[in-house]
């Protein structure tokens, strides 16, 4: 129903009782996402020979602290001036997680062409996406990887997978 709103498609991946993994159609597989009932984040997972494998950096992290109140739910993380009552968890999730992810995909991910990774062994890693290829070297004592963001998409067996998360709380 909302698929047309996304400049880049989302591919659903492995699902557990607590989270749903996802990736982006035609985007470097180092960029992966995880959706739970209280957060969505998009991480860069990269195994460089010069840096320990694993989560290199987080590109976006959206969170909510939903609690029930009379008339619906509020987010405990919102500043008082922005608190509002949502009629149900789906409305709160849509506002706090899904619309933010949609905006990031359309405004940041879609125009980007490069994934840039900077890091020093076992101390500091950073990642970002950019429409322009960086030409300057990384900082002293840093490793820099500049990777193409776009790849050829894989064929999917089911072009319209669906999934739902049912656990209403984070732990």
| Residuewise pLDDT in 10s, the chain (171 residues) | 688 999 999 999 999 999 999 999 999 999 999 999 899 999 998 876 455 557 889 999 999 999 999 999 999 999 999 999 999 999 999 999 999 999 999 999 999 999 998 876 666 788 999 999 887 666 666 777 889 999 875 555 444 444 443 333 444
Domain boundaries, the chain: 3-62+111-148
SS3 annotation, the chain:
CCHHHCCCCEEEEEECCCCEEEEECCECCCEEEEECCCEEEEEEEECCCCCCCEEEEEEEEEECCEEEECCEEEECCCCHHHCCCECCHHHHHHHHHHHHHHHHHHHHHCCCCEEEEEEECCCEEEEEEECCCCCCCCCCCCEEEEEECECCCCCCCCCCCCCCCCCCCCC
**pTM for the full predicted model:** 0.81
């Amino acid at each position: 129903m909302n698929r047309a709103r996304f400049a880049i498609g989302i591919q659903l991946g492995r699902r557990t009782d607590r989270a749903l993994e996802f990736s982006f159609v035609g985007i470097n597989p180092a960029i992966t996402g995880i959706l739970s009932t209280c957060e969505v984040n998009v991480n860069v997972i990269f195994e460089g020979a010069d840096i320990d494998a694993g989560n290199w950096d987080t590109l976006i992290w959206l969170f909510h602290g939903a609690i029930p109140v009379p008339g619906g739910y509020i987010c405990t993380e919102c500043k008082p001036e922005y608190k509002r009552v949502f009629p149900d968890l789906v409305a709160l999730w849509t506002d706090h997680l899904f619309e933010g992810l949609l905006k990031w995909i359309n405004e940041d991910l879609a125009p980007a062409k490069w994934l840039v990774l900077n890091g020093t062994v076992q101390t500091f890693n950073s990642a970002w996406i950019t429409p322009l290829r960086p030409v300057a070297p990384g900082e002293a004592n840093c490793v820099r990887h500049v990777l193409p963001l776009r790849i050829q998409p894989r064929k999917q067996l089911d072009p319209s997978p669906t999934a739902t998360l049912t656990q209403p709380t984070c732990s």
